[in-house]
Each structure stands twice: as C-alpha cells, then as structure tokens.
Structure 1
Amino acid sequence: MTTAKRKIQFSLLYRDMFQSSGKFQPRKDQLERIAPVIIKMGCFARVETNGGAFEQVNLLYGENPNQAVRAFTKPFNEVGIKTHMLDRGLNALRMFPVPADVRKLMYKVKHAQGVDITRIFCGLNDVRNIIPSIKYALEAGMTPQATLCITNSPIHTAEYYAAIADQLIEAGAPEICLKDMAGIGQPAMLGKLTKMIKDKHPEVIIEYHGHSGPGLSMASILEVCRNGADVIDTAIEPLSWGKVHPDVISVQSMLKHAGFDVPEINMEAYMEARKLTQEFIDDFLGYFMNPANKLMSSLLLGCGLPGGMMGSMMADLTGVMGAINNNRTAKGEAELSEDELLVKLFDEVAYVWPRVGYPPLVTPFSQYVKNIALMNLLTESMDKPRYTMMDNSIWGMILGKSGRLPGEVAPEIKELAKEKGFEFTDADPQSYYPDDLERFIKEMEENGWERGEDDEELFEFAMHETQYRDYKSGAAKKRFLADLQAAKDKAGASGMSLEEAAALKHAKADALVAPESGTVLWEIGGDGECVKSIEPFIGKEYKEGDFFCYIENTYGQILEVPAAMGGKLVEINAKQGAQVSKGDVVAYIQRGE
C-alpha cells in the first residue's frame, strides 16, 4: 500500500522581495501587470499583498496605498489564491505603537480590501501585543496568523517558542508563522519546534518564513517540512536569494525530491514574471536598492541582524567612519578599514544584545540594537563609556514600554537608567497609547477630506499621519521625483562620494549623521520652537549629551540627534525642513583642542 505524499503549499512574498532589497515598492500599475502572471505560474496558494512598511512607501512617492492594495488583491481573490499581509501587532503597519481604535479599524479595512490573512508579530514575542490583534482580526472576518519571531540565543529554545504558540492558539489563532527574519534560526531547533506545535495542535497551519542571508534557510525549510509545516514562503528571480528569500524553483525541486507533494511551476510564466520584475527595477526601483542586499553573508550568523539591514548598516558605517578614524589618528592609533569596522560592529552587536535583554532582532528592535552598537564604537574612539548615546526610543525598549524583554537587562544599564531617573515598567504597552480616531475624523471633516470606501482613507490618515498629509498636499510626489532625479544623477557620477569629500574637508571635526531618513527639525534653546534659520548658531558650543536637532523619520517618529561628545558647531549641512537619508551628514561639530 502506497502512503500518500504530504502536501506543501507555496506563498510568494512579492512585495517583501522589494522591501528586503531597497526603499520603494512597485506602483499600482506594476502590481496590476504582475498579478495575472503570478497566477499563471500555477504554483502559489498564497501571495503577500501588503502590510508592514509597504503602505507608507506608496504614500512616500505620492500614490494612494488603498487603491494599490485593492488592485493587487482583486485578481488573487477571484481565483481563490489567499492574500496575506504583515502586521506588527502593537505597531500595526508602522514602526511605533498605534492606538487600539486604529488597530481595530485596520482589520475591517483590510478585510474589505480583499486581504485574507494577517500575519501578526511582536518584535519581543510579547503575547500582550499579539492577542488583541487576534481578537480584532477574527471580529473583522480575517484569518489571524500568530507569529513567532525566530532568533538564536540561550533563551530562545524550542520549548520557549512552543509555550508562546500555546497561548496564541488558545487565544484563537488557527495558524502559526515561524518568522525567521534574519535566517539565523538553526534548522534542528526549527524542526523540533514545528513538531512540538503539530503534535499538540495538529489542526493548526504552520507557515515558515526564512530569509536567505546566512544560508541556513534551505536546510530549515527541509526540516520544518519533515516535521509538519504546511506553507513555505518563497521568492522569484531577480530578487531571490541574497538577503531576500530562497527561490521557489529551488525550494520546489528540493521538496519534490524529498518525497513531498508540491505544485508544478509554469516556467514560461516564471520567466515572464522575472522579466517584468526586472523591468520594474530598471524603471525606478533599482535606483533605491543597495547592491549588498543581493549578496549572502555568513557574517550575519554572528550578529543575528536581519539581512535587509546590511545596506543601511553600511550607510551608517560610512557616516561615522571618518569620525572614528579621526579620533584614532589623534590618539596615534591606526585607522580602521571598512571591513575591520564592520567586524567590530558585528562583535559589538553580539556584546550588546544579551545585555539589553535578548530582544529578537526584528524591526524596530534590530535597529535599536545596531544603533547602540554603532554609537558604542564611536564613543569608544573618544575614550568614553558604552551606552553614552542612546535615544528615547532605545530607552523605551530597555525600560519595557514596548513589551517584556525576553532576558534580563545588564546591571550596568539598570544603574545608568537609575542615574537618569528612568523607571522600568511591566504595564500593558497599549495602555500608553489611548484611542485617537476622533481627532482624525474631526480633522478630515474640517479639511473636507473623504473618509473613503470602508473608512480606508480615515485609516490611512490615522496610521500614517505625516506621510498622508504629504501625500494629500503633493509634497510627497514632488520630493520623490527630486530624490529619483538625484539618485539617477548619482548613479551616473563617478569618483569620490559626497561623504568621503566631506570627511576630507572636515578632518578635525566629527560628522553628526542622521540616524534615519526623514525631515530635519532644528530646536535650539529647548523652548519647543523649531527655528526657521539656523545660520546664527554656527559657532555655538554644545555639551556632551546635548541634542542639537531632531529627525522626523518617514514613519512619523521623532528622533533626537545628539551632539556627540559636545563641541563647537562649525558647519550645518541640513537646514530646517531638509530631507536627509540615513547616514547623511547633518552638521559638523569640532571638539576643543
């Protein structure tokens, strides 16, 4: 008697392919063109159609994200292919927390727009940030896929994750996603975890999401499938592998030869989708993609950072490399090459991570840990102690305002918090963010703005306030076109970069760089007024720990830019309202002799 082969389904992460490769997403017209080709491929039971930062990106180049979601989901809905989205739990579709009434509205809107499944995750795996979203999704008619953010530490064992899965399934989640965002989940552990969940909850669907960065994901796919996984996330060329995801052709071949029942791939359609995707890249998306994201790196195993962060990390390194080497030269020490500095950064991440409580390194906590490490390297070059330069967002994570950290915070950081008068909390993170929809409803009425079909425009405004205003005013489109032209000009240029030229010009000054992309907001004197002209402040002296300006990032979050170890402001590169990219020099500050 022949035993039936176990069936494995595939999901295409079409939008996450771009998210892991660069800054922007395909336009609505491009999504409409690719959808029928994806369907024609015949091998996908699911397609990721929106979520995470995708909708903000539409707004950033002046396109309505609601129309894009409806257009992309429609053809898949018509043929019975499930659509799914990425949902950050307490943070919903952005990088910082969302009021409960806005979170509730999201599921009603997304269900009406044609999204079937919402993949709910918390970067800390705190069930308090996930369980409310499970309830909201079920009430709205969506399928909640509760998510485990996978990482590799002494704390993050199969038993640890299985206990969390039990709570999420009890709360009503019919599906579990193993989100291996850095691709560092060990195959043996993932196989064991899959079996533990399936043995106890055989009816629960398990989907595996693993980035290909350090090269473990193919082994992990085989292990989770052998232990009961049902759906595997995949990509297609020209955006598979690298820091993205394994290609569906390789995954299908491996599983087919391992004895699983997998769908066949229409290769003619695959090549058509490949060609169209390259066309989108050549059109405009490629100008905002970092070539490093096309490469895999075993170095990611050591630091555990998500592969998609490599590009931004390199930009950050470029921004501070000159300052670090200037400090080393002044002390008679040899300058560090980019590779040497990168290894030091990875080592510092590995040092910092357990001491801030082992937060899984996924957005936004991966950025926080990386920023701590990077600033520690800078302060080390200045002979200053670690943790000297940490902003409010980082402290919020450490203090528990985003949820419970998996591990204990190191005594030296607890002592530093005490010195600063900070208090640790175990309160429900949602309690810090009260309902806020009425404010947006009132303003839309005052402006004469339509709330949109199924209140989708109201939701978009409440979720992405800053970006929505810029979209409505046309400022976003104008800024994007200027950025695109600048990117094209830069791509055609050769020789020394602007950052390198600036480093030479200011050999005795520290470059103060933007921690994230966004708008520069100057605030001098602490009176709360953003100054219109900052030229009179050239020559102003700052003390260690002072903040000389703010960056409002593309997610509407306000970040403080510290004046390093203090000194005299000698040049300002970004005036009030200027748009800067992550790692761009905002100003130069020169310490006394």
Structure 2
Amino acid sequence: MSQAVQVTDATLRDGVESFVLKELRQEDLARLGKLLDRAGFYSIDCWGGSTFYAALTELQEDPWERLKRLRRAIRNTPLQMVVRGQMLVGFKPYHKEVVRKFLAKAAALGIDIFRIYDQLNDLENMRLAVSIAKELRKQVEATVLFSLNPATTQADYLRQAEALLNLGADAICINDSLGVMTPDKVASLVTTYRKSFHQPLRLHLHDNYQKALEAYLVGIRAGVERVDTVLTSLAWPEGPPAVESLMFSLGGTMYDPHIDIDILYEISEYIQALKETRHYREPAPRKVESRAEEGFLPDLLKDFLREELRRQNARDRQHMAFKEAHRVWGDLGFLPLKGRILEIIVEQTVANVLAGKRYEKLTEGMEDLVKGRYGPLYSLANEELRQRALDARQADRGQSWEGRLTKPLGISQEEDVLTYSLFPNEAERFFQSRRQRLAAPPIAKPPTLEAVRPLSQISQNVPRGLSLTLKGEEVGARLEGIGPLRGNKQTMFVNIADMTEEIEVTLVSSTGAMPEYLITMHGETHRLKFRKVFPKEEEYTPIFFEVDDTLEEFLIKHLHID
C-alpha cells in the first residue's frame, strides 16, 4: 500500500539566505512559483518569517505585492507561511487587532496553511494566532521547537504537541533549525507520538551536520507524513535538505513522493541563469564541527557574533566572545535560537565582553526577555539572572508593550497600514522610496498602446474584447483594466477564459510598420513580433506573429463590449 510522503518546498523562504532574501525579486518569484506549481509538491512554503522584513528592507519591495504575485502564479498548490505566534512576522508581540487583521489579509490574498510557532515554545503566545487561523477556515500546523536544554525531555515535547492539538491545530511540526536532532532521537519521538496521536506529523530539520536526510528517512518509516525540503540549487547547511536527495532515497518505495524531476531540472537551470545574471557568489563551504566539543556554538550564532563584533570594532575579542556566548546561551537554558532570541544572546554576549564583567548591564533585548515580554522563561540557569528577572517582572507588572494598529497620515490601503504597524520606521522609508519611484518621469509610452489611458477615457469605438484562434483552439479575452506605467512597462489586466490575468507589455522596437514587444505573464516573458496582417476575411482577421522566433498564424475577431 502506497504511503507517499507529502513534500513541501521551502526554497522561496528557507533556501540559501544570501540569495533568497537579497536577490529574488517579484518577477523571479512569479516565474519560480509557476514552475514549482507543476512539480507536484504538497505545499509551497514561500512567505512569512524573515521574508516579509527582507522584502521591505533589502529588496525595497512590498511584501504583500510579492504574495499576490505568488498566488497568481501558483494556482494548484497550497501556499504556506510561517507565523511567529502573536509576534506575526515581527520582533515583538502585537495587539490582537493587529494579529486578526494581518492573518485575515494573508488568508484573503492566498495563504492556505499557517505554520505557527513561538520562539520560547510558549503556548499562550500561539493561542490567539491558532484560534484566528481556524476561524478563517485555514489549515494550522502548530510547531514544537527542539531545544538543546538537557532538562527538556521527550515527554515535554509530547505534552506541548498535545496542548497544541487541543487548541485546534490540524497537524504538528517538529522544528530543529540547528540540525542537532539525531536520527535516533527522531525515531524515538515520532514512534512515541504515533502511539498517542493520529494527527499528521511534519519534520522541519536543517542540515547543519549532514544528518537531516537520514533523520527524515528514519522519521518517515516511523510514521511522519510530511517533510520540508529545498531545491539543490539553493540548498545550504542552515536549511532543510535537498528534495532531489530525498527523491533518490525514496524512489521506487512505498514512500515515493512522485515529484516531477524534469520540472526540478528546469527550475535549477532557471536559478543558475539568475545567479549568473546577478553575478552571485556561492558561500564558501563550512567545516562541520562536532557538537560534542566543549563550548559548542552553532555556526549561525557565530556568524551573528562576528558581525556584531565587527560593528563594535572588537574583532580581536572573537575567541573570548565565543566562549562567553556559550555561557550566556547556557544561562538562558539553551533556548531554541529562533527569531529575536539569537540577537539577544549576541547583544548581551558582546556587552559582557566589552564591559569585562558579566551582566554589569543588561541590554534592552535581554531586559525584555527576562521581564517575560516574549513569554515566560522557565529555564533560567543563572541565579543572578533569575533574581533580576523576578525584580524586573514586578516592576513591569501591568504595563503593555504590544504593537498597536497604527494608521500613518496619508496611508489608507490596509496592507500599508499593517506594514506600518509592524515596522513603522522601515515602512516609512519604503513608502517614501515608493513615492519617489512613482513620481519619477515615465519613459515615453509605446505609441501603439492606446490602452495606457484609463478605461473610462478610451473611445467606445476601440474594441475591448477579442476572440483569438490558434491551431484550431479558440480563446476569448477581454480588457478589464489598465495598471500603472512602470518605466517602459505597461501593466494591463485581461480576462482570459474567465480568469483575470496581469500582463506586462514592453515595447522593444517601433521601427518600421511592425512593432516588437516583450509580453510577461506569470513570470514568463515572450518576444512578440508582428510580421504580416492580411485584409479582413469575413469576421476574422488573419495575423502572423513571430513568437519567440516561431512564426504562428492567429485568427483575430474583435468584440465590442459595453
């Protein structure tokens, strides 16, 4: 009996960070999304987490517009996003009004599956998000984060899973973003989970120590239904393992996911072309260190430390900082290094090293953490920190620091209001940059595109619809609206076969009688050249176009639509 594993592609969110978060623009996402949609994945994890902030700051693109482009490109595969509990995609908890409006907007724009986690495994920080997602009739995958805290037992993880299922979660995800779960631990946890619960179980393991694939295979045989992977062309040690490796290992077995390998090759070729176009340099391979070494630090934590030391002009104290970071992490009970926790440990470590005394002054982030603003801390192993936490919580009692819904002056669109409420400073800079781009003088409009005017201003004599026949197949198209002119690209909204599509038209050449255009739809661009127009025969006009260097004959029938 087939028990095909359900594979989620996480490339667009969890692929190699230096490329995915800094190089993939909207048009790239649309093209990749359309290809991924044909591959046969269970879902595509493509939004939320760090992608929202990176789009806003690194790429200067509207995160909501990126989601819209993805939804238009991906028609058949469910879209999935990561939500940091009540912190959403930000760095602090937000008021329930913000949480409700954010999740409702994400659902309306196409998110089908919400994967919800909390950086402290705090049930209360996840309760509201789970409840709202269920009200929206969306699938909820609640996440249990794996920790290196020696006091945390397998029974603790199972109790957390049970509590999340009782909240209404449809499935449970075991997340290990440090790649430290051994295959034996995975087998034991999955086997025990299966004895108590029937809800689907997912593994999201990173491949830091090249054990994730083996752990996946062990977990699948023990009863895991879903796993996360990325494409080989964007795989890295700090992300999930490559889907191609999983397919090779499971091919021909009862667990074969039946992903279309030809589509994966096509995607890899496109990504390689993007890398060459962007002059992207692959990150240097890392040396795999033993987790048994004294003072073990994950590479991700080391990277953040190096950057903070460089910023503080203290690179000469790196060795001391690495030792201190292990101690600070241990003082906090080896919390999962997710979200803001990673930054807090780094900031406090550097503060301790520069001061020459441990915890002489708590950083703002550490103060917020010990006050319980990110959730209760049950794992403090340092007596001084424990006492300061008690004092701080007493002083902070009754105060609220939840982010509120804030509507800035001159902003009315709901997506913009939500973005500003999450990241006011970054959003203000983005809005200003966007206004400047829109105010820039446009490049001369293509002379043959009369449709650059609003529909209300277009002459009623101009046909807004047509019937197009190619090789015996007839398709109806109707012009629904005209979007903004971006540079020399004219956006048009055309209803094709009862589905409205966004199309970008760029005039390449208007020399001679027959112009040449680039037509972009779903991220795919085609070159269109007019070659010959014959006199009208009956109700159809035969026109020859050269489409991507291939000559095609179209029969065009204009339709006047009121």
TM-score by length of 2: 0.70
Residues 1:115 and 2:111 aligned together: yes
Q: Provide the residue aligned with 1:148 in structure 2.
A: 144
Deviation digits for residues 167-193 of structure 1, max 9, x if unmatched?
A: 110010011111111111233222222
Residues 1:47 and 2:44 aligned together: yes
Residue from 242, 254, 269 that aligns with 2:249: 254
Q: Provide the residue aligned with 1:387 in structure 2.
A: 359
Query: Larger relative CO (CA 8 A, sep 6+): 1 or 2?
Result: 1
Distance 1:351 1:397 in 2: 17
Residue from 24, 32, 36 that aligns with 1:26: 24
Deviation digits for residues 192-237 of structure 1, max 9, x if unmatched?
A: 22223222221x1111111111222122212321221111100112
Residues 1:369 and 2:353 aligned together: no
Q: Provide the residue aligned with 1:177 in structure 2.
A: 173
Give the Å deviation of 1:362. Answer: 1.2
Residue from 231, 242, 258 that aligns with 1:236: 231
Residue 148 of structure 2 aligns with an amino acid whose one-letter code is: N
Deviation digits for residues 567-586 of structure 1, max 9, x if unmatched?
A: xxxxxxxxxxxxxxxxxxxx
Q: Is the 8 A contact 2:90 2:423 kept in 1?
A: yes
Residues 1:432 and 2:400 aligned together: yes
Rg (Cα) greater in structure = 2
Q: Is the 8 A contact 1:359 1:406 kept in 2?
A: no
Q: Provide the residue aligned with 2:325 in structure 1.
A: 349
Identity of aligned residues (%): 20
Distance 1:364 1:215 in 2: 26
Distance 1:397 1:477 in 2: 39
Q: Provide the residue aligned with 2:288 in structure 1.
A: 297
Deviation digits for residues 25-52 of structure 1, max 9, x if unmatched?
A: 511111111112223333x111112001
Residues 1:127 and 2:154 aligned together: no
Q: Provide the residue aligned with 1:481 in structure 2.
A: none
Q: Is the 8 A contact 2:348 2:363 kept in 1?
A: no
Q: Provide the residue aligned with 1:422 in structure 2.
A: 392
Residue from 271, 274, 285 that aligns with 1:280: 274
Residues 1:6 and 2:9 aligned together: no
Output aligned runs, 1:170-569, within 5 Å: 170-202=166-198, 204-256=199-251, 259-284=253-278, 286=280, 291-292=283-284, 294-295=285-286, 297-298=288-289, 307-319=299-311, 322=314, 324=316, 341=319, 344-379=320-355, 384-415=356-387, 422-423=392-393, 432-433=400-401, 436-437=404-405, 439-440=406-407, 443=408, 446-447=409-410, 449-451=411-413, 455-474=414-433
Equivalent residues, number: 434
Distance 2:254 2:394 in 1: 49
Residue 263 of structure 1 aligns with an amino acid whose one-letter code is: P
Structure 1 SS opposite 2:234 = coil
Give the Å deviation of 1:271. Answer: 2.2
Q: Provide the residue aligned with 1:584 in structure 2.
A: none
Residue 348 of structure 1 aligns with an amino acid whose one-letter code is: E
Q: Provide the residue aligned with 1:59 in structure 2.
A: 56
- Note closer, same or farther for the CA distance 1:10–1:192 as it changes in structure 2 (3 Å cut): same
Q: Is the 8 A contact 2:380 2:386 kept in 1?
A: no
Give the Å deviation of 1:436. Answer: 2.5
Which has the larger share of helix? 1
Distance 1:309 1:350 in 2: 10
Q: Is the 8 A contact 2:98 2:418 kept in 1?
A: yes
Q: Is the 8 A contact 1:55 1:65 kept in 2?
A: yes
Which has the larger share of strand? 2
- Note closer, same or farther for the CA distance 1:270–1:300 as it changes in structure 2 (3 Å cut): farther
Distance 1:88 1:300 in 2: 27
Residue 267 of structure 1 aligns with an amino acid whose one-letter code is: I
- Note closer, same or farther for the CA distance 1:222–1:347 as it changes in structure 2 (3 Å cut): farther
Residue from 67, 70, 73 that aligns with 1:69: 67
Q: Is the 8 A contact 1:306 1:366 kept in 2?
A: no
Q: Structure 2 stretches of 5 or more lacking a match?
A: 438-562
Q: Provide the residue aligned with 1:165 in structure 2.
A: 161
Distance 2:15 2:236 in 1: 12
Give the Å deviation of 1:7. Answer: 2.1
TM-score by length of 1: 0.67
Q: Is the 8 A contact 1:118 1:143 kept in 2?
A: yes
Give the Å deviation of 1:70. Answer: 1.4
Distance 2:279 2:330 in 1: 37
Q: Is the 8 A contact 1:213 1:300 kept in 2?
A: no
Q: Is the 8 A contact 2:232 2:244 kept in 1?
A: no
Deviation digits for residues 374-426 of structure 1, max 9, x if unmatched?
A: 433444xxxx22123531111211232211224134112245568xx633589
- Note closer, same or farther for the CA distance 1:20–1:435 as it changes in structure 2 (3 Å cut): closer
Distance 1:477 1:213 in 2: 42
Give the Å deviation of 1:435. Answer: 7.0
Distance 1:68 1:285 in 2: 23
Deviation digits for residues 342-373 of structure 1, max 9, x if unmatched?
A: xx544433322231233222111122123333
Q: Is the 8 A contact 1:471 1:477 kept in 2?
A: no
Distance 1:13 1:190 in 2: 20
Give the Å deviation of 1:137. Answer: 0.6
Q: Is the 8 A contact 1:94 1:464 kept in 2?
A: yes
> RMSD over aligned Cα, in angstroms?
2.9
Q: Is the 8 A contact 1:155 1:406 kept in 2?
A: no
Q: Provide the residue aligned with 1:90 in structure 2.
A: 86
Q: Structure 1 stretches of 5 or more lacking a match?
A: 326-337, 479-593
- Note closer, same or farther for the CA distance 1:152–1:415 as it changes in structure 2 (3 Å cut): closer
Distance 1:412 1:222 in 2: 44
Distance 1:424 1:285 in 2: 54
Give the Å deviation of 1:63. Answer: 1.6
